[in-house]
Amino acid sequence: MRHHPMKKILFNLLLGAAFLPAAAYASPHYQPYSVDTLAGIHPGDADGNGDAARFAYPTNVATDASGNVYVSDYRNHTIRKITPDGQVRTFAGAPERFGRIDGRGRGARFYYPAGLEVDKMGNVYVADSGNCIIRKITPAGVVSTIAGSAGECGSADGKGSAARFNFPYGVAVDGAGSVYVADTFNSTIRKIAPDGNVTTVAGASGENGKSDGTGKAARFFYPYDVTVSSAGNVYVADTYNSAVRKITPDHRVTTLPDPQQRLKFSYPQGLTVDDAENIYVAAFDRQDIIKFGVHGRATIFAGAHFAVGSRNGRRHHARFYYPSDVASDSAGNLYVADFDNCVIRKIGPGGMVTTFAGLVSPGSDNGGVEAARFDAPYDVAVNRRGTVFVADFLNAVIRKVTPNGVVSTLAGMADTAGSSDGAGSAARFVAPSGVAVSSSGILYVADKYSNTIRKVTAGGVVTTFAGSAGENGSVDGTGAAARFNLPNGVAVDNAGSVYVADTYNQTIRKITPEGVVSTLAGSPGQSGSDDGAGSAARFAHPEHVAVDSVGNVYVADNENSTIRKITPAGVVTTLAGLAGSPGNSDGVGTEARFEDPWGVSVDSADDIYVADTGNRTIRRITPAGVVTTLAGLANRDGMNDRTGKHARFAFPRGLAVDANGKLYIADSDNNSIRTATPALARSIDNDDEEEIMPLQDSSESVGAPRVPTLLTPVP
């Protein structure tokens, strides 16, 4: 099962500081960890031909008259160019080197570039979203800023640098050389004349709505893209309104109807118009491409309604994974920025979908480090021999990774959901989200959407340990008589007892080796942050649990953004973080801050490790409650195998620690399994500062904004 009913789209539309305070890394407790990839193909920045190329969440595409395709490679902060034969090269910007510098080719810097368009002279226009400016790239690769002032977001008409934009996301250019801008945070459509003068075409700054009308009387709600037809009509992907809008040359705004009333948009993010005035829309959350014909008829052109995947094929047999933009060429081909697949797809005039450039990251292939594929791995566990077990969430299987990175499927069948017990591929899971391995080698699995806890032997034989498939509730009892409500995480102690983060019951459950289920802490259906004993305590979506050598249970209390501790007697205290105060600070106890922590694990010294998912970092908590950040940089997505704050993750969820202190991380949105070990003693401060300084130019502010983008599906 690839689409889950609990899925929601996180819109990262907030401003916030992305850098950890320098004091966090000056702490005497801080020791950076070096991060490596154990298995899985992940987003990247490689140039090359066809599937040798790598992208990191391509967001928008555009074509020129020669059939070249240009791509805004969002998380690489670059603009890529693909020739008609599929050769990919970096046209402007440098991978993962963000900034605001004008210049030639790799000497230029962008900050989360989004929309782009090509004029008849071959100039590329870019909505440099994070910098709040509009850029121009000549055919020779020379980058200049044509409107707005880098880092100064706002809403002002004016000429050139006097104008202000607020996270502009889409651009289009007409035959006269005027550039239209979807000024997303201002909820307006702007126009840049050839002389650089910026005016507001439609909408009123900061006033969200869905009113048709003329000019500033119209209302939009976070428009994400624009395209302009040969007749001078501007079409708008009005994303939060889930609508496509039309602006005529006299600035009259109307909403495109769906006469059949059978196609319901869900966040259209990108669109294009062909010479016949047919409009093609990348329906981000629907997972398909929709066509609005010249007579107003709306049809699904490619993909299948809410069916996620990467399959090539004709029209409805094809699958996309959050398509974010579409562009057309003069030959009638469409090109799709297939965002979460990290590839560019091509749709021929007959509707045949193929992969044009890049290599699809999600998948279920077994094999070595570079051959294996995962699809949203949610959790990991490691046994005494160093074998890693993976809850491969969207593939609905349990995977096994040897110490040298060879991946195999231990139980279940990829993309075939169910609840059957059995051996190996005969077994079925619905959505395995948590795994834990006992000292005897038995694997326990939280099969989230089946509301059960499963048991897997070393040979891959699966049985249902507790709960009844498809039956949710909160009932203590033995085996199938017990009930859970979307349990997410599991842990097992030295005596063989299993602890469960029963997420939607807001409780922590305990299962004896004989299968007797009881409630250790929390009260079913009662959310909160109260410390206390047993049922007097409160949790808010506890996602994961870990248990130490003396039987204390640690809880990643996700919505409270805290780490809780439960004694064997059921007494709950808050070990670190402050309920209701998310953030990214290191410190002691309640001085520390987390954001949506997901995974927890405990080592032999009873240090606690946390996958701080919302911050994209890995943290450590000593038994005394001292919190430090080991790897990653708050709010910075990526896939860097580096040391300390230079490493990058994309929503790391699960983690495990082995007997030698090595960490294993389920890096969910990178579809990979990562490892982290303490870095060798060296002059970290000097080396790291030399490495990080080129990432930003001298004019860059210390606080980096979290830019507007429709990003990560999170069940």
pLDDT one-digit tens code per residue, 325-334: 898 888 888 9
Neighbours of 306 (CB within 10 A): 14
Q: What is the pLDDT of residue 1?
A: 31
Q: Which residue would you say has higher pLDDT here, 340 or 219?
A: 219
Q: What percent of the chain has pLDDT over 70?
A: 89
The confidence band for 265, taking pLDDT boundaries of 50, 70 and 90, is low
pLDDT tens-digit map of 497-516: 999 999 999 999 999 999 99
What's the chain's average pLDDT?
A: 86
Least confident of 44-48, 415-419, 453-457: 44-48
The rounded distance, in Å, linking the Cα atoms of 315 and 713 is: 24
pLDDT tens digit sequence for 376-435: 899 999 998 889 999 999 899 999 999 888 999 999 999 889 999 999 999 999 999 999
- Rounded to the nearest 5 degrees, what angle is found at the Cα of 556, between the Cα atoms of 551 and 561? 140
pLDDT of 628-665, one tens digit each? Answer: 999 999 877 777 788 999 898 888 999 999 988 999 99
**Is 217 strand, coil or helix?**
helix
Q: How confident is the model at residue 300 (pLDDT cuts 50, 70, 90)?
A: confident
In the 3-class helix/strand/coil scheme, how is 317-334 assigned residue by residue? HCCECCEEEEEECCCCCE
Q: What is the pLDDT of residue 14?
A: 33
Is the model's pLDDT at 686 over the cut of 50?
no
Residue 680's pLDDT is 66
At 24, is the pLDDT very low, low, confident or very high (cuts 50, 70, 90)? Answer: very low
Secondary structure of residue 677 in the 3-state scheme: strand
Q: Is the pLDDT of residue 53 over 50?
A: yes
Rg (CA), the chain: 25
pLDDT-derived band at 7, boundaries 50, 70, 90: very low
Are 668 and 60 within 8 A, CB to CB?
A: no
Distance CA 97, CA 93 (A): 7
pLDDT band at 310 (very low <50, low <70, confident <90, very high): confident
Spatial separation of the C-alpha atoms in residues 290 and 128, rounded to whole Å: 27
Contacts (Cβ under 8 Å, ≥6 apart) of 256: 235, 243, 244, 245, 246, 279, 292, 296, 298
Decide if pLDDT at 15 tops 90. no
Give the pLDDT band (50/70/90) at residue 261: low
Q: What percent of the chain has pLDDT over 90?
A: 62
Predicted pLDDT of residue 30 = 57
Residue 685 has pLDDT above 70, yes or no: no
